[in-house]
């Protein structure tokens, strides 16, 4: 045995070994290589490193890094809603429900809710739920949707997911068959969509939002974009509309939404409505309306329009990003197709159960008259009022910086300001092989300790430059951040003029 082995070893040594399969950048799935996701890209890695240096006292020119790169409210100080966490805490340790002192710690409605969930789930959060999610959560979502839109929802058409992202990924995977299938994406867009299209090998069909009209959605642009794509041989299967917009914050008018639905109807295109910011509206007189409601309001003629709509516990006023709760609803889809998505969902067994419970509470919060109602409302209103005030403050402060211009966002959690860069700065970036706004954001990070995402990560009209910033940090931090950004920008203008 031993000598045989050695004999084989000798033979192998004689022929040089060519390793084709050992993974490297040339032989991994090139669609993974092609995918880009700027929200957590190179700059964030630098920012994390800077933060560590500051914490360890190795860097003293900055007090802290202000992270404005990602909609992660609790990472920048937002407090979770008490009722939600009380219920989750009881779900994780249901022994507490039998503790005689429990009512001195938890309000009765939190205890009642946890007891109810324990009964409904039969075995709590430790077992897999069914693949679509707990039945009782699907029902809560259906009721929520009905209250919101005035039209009944069928729990069978709702799927829970690990955050909204997983649902979007599952749906795009269901519709993209090959490199000819395409999806229309707004530009600028939340880069999850372009990353997923890269991963799935589908075609990205860009349509531009109109910066001069508050990042509005213009039908002529949609038509032109679709026609150009079809001329190129792309089979456009769907259009993504993010409302309220990410990174742009615009909130669509019902009239505009009707036009989009008519467009989908006429052009036989599935509507993917990313509605995760539906609670985040900050401008008086503006109101979120779901695509589902608008579609149903338009009557039977439009019932052939297929609509995918998703929502999440990560945004709104909950900001429970880490708990990864999300759902999507399929409207006007065949049962056959739904069964296929169910089968697909079953390969990942189930969405995490705690995220599901958060969705249940989000869609069925304490009611008026219940013990936790007032606190829930107070916490909710504080968060939404703060977000509104911060969005106003940050818009004002950003507009004080030379070369930066932005409108006050109507919703969501972001501002997407325009930056005018000195021609010499642009030249230098190009010489370095970098996107000018990436280089600018790097200056801002390294000089001001503010982590924003360059506009090129979301897409923008050629020759224009932007960045995305959240307005989630407290006002003091935002003021400090913008004041330092102003210094850096003034220096850039001076150095490159």
Q: Which of residues 344-383 bind its own copies (CB under 8 A)?
A: 344, 346-355
Q: Both tokens of residue 471?
A: 């307005």
Of the pair 269, 421, the CB lying nearest its own copies is at 269
Q: Out of 304, 487, 490, 495, point to the residue binding its own copies (CB under 8 A).
A: 304
User: Is the omega angle on the peptide bond into residue 247 within 30 degrees of 0, that is, cis?
Assistant: yes
Of the pair 313, 488, the CB lying nearest its own copies is at 313
**Least Å distance between CB 387 and its own copies?**
16
Q: Could you give the string, one character per residue 63-82, with x where binding to its own copies holds by CB under 8 A and - elsewhere?
A: -------x-xxxx-x--x-x
Q: Which of residues 222-261 bind its own copies (CB under 8 A)?
A: 235-238
**φ/ψ of residue 491, rounded to 5:** -65, -40
**Least Å distance between CB 32 and its own copies?**
5
Segment contacting its own copies by CB under 8 A, of 85-93, 226-234, 378-386, 457-465 = 85-93
Of the pair 267, 395, the CB lying nearest its own copies is at 267
- Asked if 22 touches its own copies (CB under 8 A), the answer is yes
316: left (phi over 0), alpha (psi -120 to 50) or beta: left
Q: Which of residues 313-342 bind its own copies (CB under 8 A)?
A: 314, 319-324, 333-334, 336-337, 340-341
Of the pair 97, 392, the CB lying nearest its own copies is at 97
**Least Å distance between CB 21 and its own copies?**
5
- Asked if 35 touches its own copies (CB under 8 A), the answer is yes
Segment contacting its own copies by CB under 8 A, of 12-20, 207-215, 277-285, 429-437 = 12-20
Strand-pair partners of 404: 419
Segment contacting its own copies by CB under 8 A, of 26-34, 136-144, 225-233, 410-418 = 26-34
- Asked if 23 touches its own copies (CB under 8 A), the answer is yes
Q: Both tokens of residue 249?
A: 């914050």
**Least Å distance between CB 255 and its own copies?**
11
**Least Å distance between CB 102 and its own copies?**
9
Q: Out of 116, 268, 374, 396, point to the residue binding its own copies (CB under 8 A).
A: 268
- Asked if 30 touches its own copies (CB under 8 A), the answer is yes
85-89 long-range CB contacts below 8 Å, 24 or more apart?
86/110, 86/114, 86/372, 87/113, 87/114, 87/117, 87/357, 87/361, 88/323, 88/354, 88/357, 88/358
**Least Å distance between CB 204 and its own copies?**
15
**Least Å distance between CB 355 and its own copies?**
6
Q: Out of 46, 112, 118, 175, point to the residue binding its own copies (CB under 8 A).
A: 175
**Least Å distance between CB 451 and its own copies?**
13
Q: Report the alpha-carbon distance of residue 10 to residue 273 in Å, rounded.
A: 62
B/e letters for 391-401, b = 16+ CB within 10 Å, e = fewer, are beebbebbeeb
DSSP 436-456: HHHHHHHHHHHHH-EE-EEGG
- The DSSP 8-state label assigned to residue 98 in this structure reads G
**Measured CA distances, 26 to 16, 17, 166, 433 (Å):** 20, 18, 28, 21
- HSE-up of 464 (CA within 13 Å, CB side)? 18
Q: Report the alpha-carbon distance of residue 482 to residue 467 in Å, rounded.
A: 13
Q: Which residues neighbour 88 within 8 Å (Cβ) at sequence distance 6 or greater?
A: 323, 354, 357, 358
Q: Both tokens of residue 3?
A: 């000598």
**Least Å distance between CB 428 and its own copies?**
26
Q: Report the alpha-carbon distance of residue 317 to residue 423 in Å, rounded.
A: 41
B/e letters for 258-295, b = 16+ CB within 10 Å, e = fewer, are bbbbebbbeeebbbbbbbbbbbbbbeeeeebbbbbbbb
# residues contacting its own copies (CB under 8 A) = 105
- HSE-up of 175 (CA within 13 Å, CB side)? 26
Of the pair 21, 212, the CB lying nearest its own copies is at 21
**Least Å distance between CB 196 and its own copies?**
7
Q: Out of 6, 7, 29, 152, point to the residue binding its own copies (CB under 8 A).
A: 29
**φ/ψ of residue 60, rounded to 5:** -120, -5
Q: Which of residues 378-437 bind its own copies (CB under 8 A)?
A: none
Q: Which of residues 123-152 bind its own copies (CB under 8 A)?
A: 123-131
Of the pair 27, 115, the CB lying nearest its own copies is at 27
Of the pair 149, 166, the CB lying nearest its own copies is at 166
**Least Å distance between CB 468 and its own copies?**
16
Helix, strand and coil content of the chain, in percent to the nearest 5, comes to: 50, 15, 35
């Amino acid at each position: 045995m031993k000598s045989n082995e050695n004999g084989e070893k000798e033979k192998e040594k004689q022929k040089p070994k060519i390793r084709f399969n050992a993974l490297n950048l040339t032989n991994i799935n090139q669609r993974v290589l092609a995918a880009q996701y700027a929200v957590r890209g190179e700059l964030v890695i630098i920012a994390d490193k800077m933060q560590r240096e500051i914490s360890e006292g190795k860097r003293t020119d900055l007090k802290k890094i202000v992270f404005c790169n990602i909609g992660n409210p609790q990472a920048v100080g937002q407090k979770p809603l008490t009722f939600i966490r009380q219920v989750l805490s009881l779900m994780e340790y249901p022994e507490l429900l039998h503790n005689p002192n429990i009512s001195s710690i938890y309000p009765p409605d939190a205890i009642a809710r946890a007891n109810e969930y324990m009964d409904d789930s039969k075995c709590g959060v430790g077992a897999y739920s069914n693949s679509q999610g707990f039945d009782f959560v699907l029902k809560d979502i259906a009721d929520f949707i009905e209250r919101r839109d005035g039209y009944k929802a069928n729990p069978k058409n709702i799927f829970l997911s690990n955050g909204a992202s997983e649902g979007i990924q599952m749906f795009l995977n269901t519709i993209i068959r090959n490199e000819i299938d395409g999806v229309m994406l707004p530009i600028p867009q939340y880069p999850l969509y372009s990353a997923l299209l890269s991963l799935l090998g589908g075609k990205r069909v860009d349509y531009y939002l109109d910066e001069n009209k508050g990042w509005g959605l213009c039908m002529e642009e949609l038509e032109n974009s679709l026609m150009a794509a079809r001329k190129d041989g792309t089979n456009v299967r769907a259009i993504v509309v993010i409302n309220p917009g990410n990174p742009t914050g615009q909130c669509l008018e019902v009239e505009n939404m009707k036009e989009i639905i008519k467009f989908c109807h006429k052009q036989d295109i599935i509507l993917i409505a990313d509605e995760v910011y539906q609670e985040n509206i900050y401008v008086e007189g503006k109101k979120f309306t779901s695509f589902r409601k608008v579609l149903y309001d338009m009557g039977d003629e439009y019932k052939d329009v297929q609509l995918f709509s998703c929502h999440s516990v990560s945004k709104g006023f909950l900001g429970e990003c880490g708990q990864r709760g999300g759902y999507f609803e399929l409207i006007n889809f065949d049962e056959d197709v739904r069964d296929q998505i169910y089968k697909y969902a079953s390969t990942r067994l189930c969405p995490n159960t705690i995220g599901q419970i958060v969705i249940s509470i989000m869609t069925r919060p304490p009611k008026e008259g219940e013990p936790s109602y007032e606190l829930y409302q107070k916490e909710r209103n504080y968060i939404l009022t703060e977000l509104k005030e911060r969005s106003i403050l940050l818009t004002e402060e950003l507009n004080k910086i030379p070369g930066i211009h932005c409108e006050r966002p109507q919703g969501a959690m972001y501002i997407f300001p325009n930056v005018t860069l000195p021609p010499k700065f642009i030249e230098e970036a190009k010489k370095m092989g970098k996107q000018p706004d990436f280089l600018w954001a790097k200056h801002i990070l390294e000089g001001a300790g503010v982590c924003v995402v360059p506009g090129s990560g979301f897409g923008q009209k050629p020759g224009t430059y932007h960045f995305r910033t959240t307005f989630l940090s407290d006002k003091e931090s935002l003021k400090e951040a913008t004041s330092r950004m102003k210094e850096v920008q003034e220096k850039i203008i001076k150095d490159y003029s």
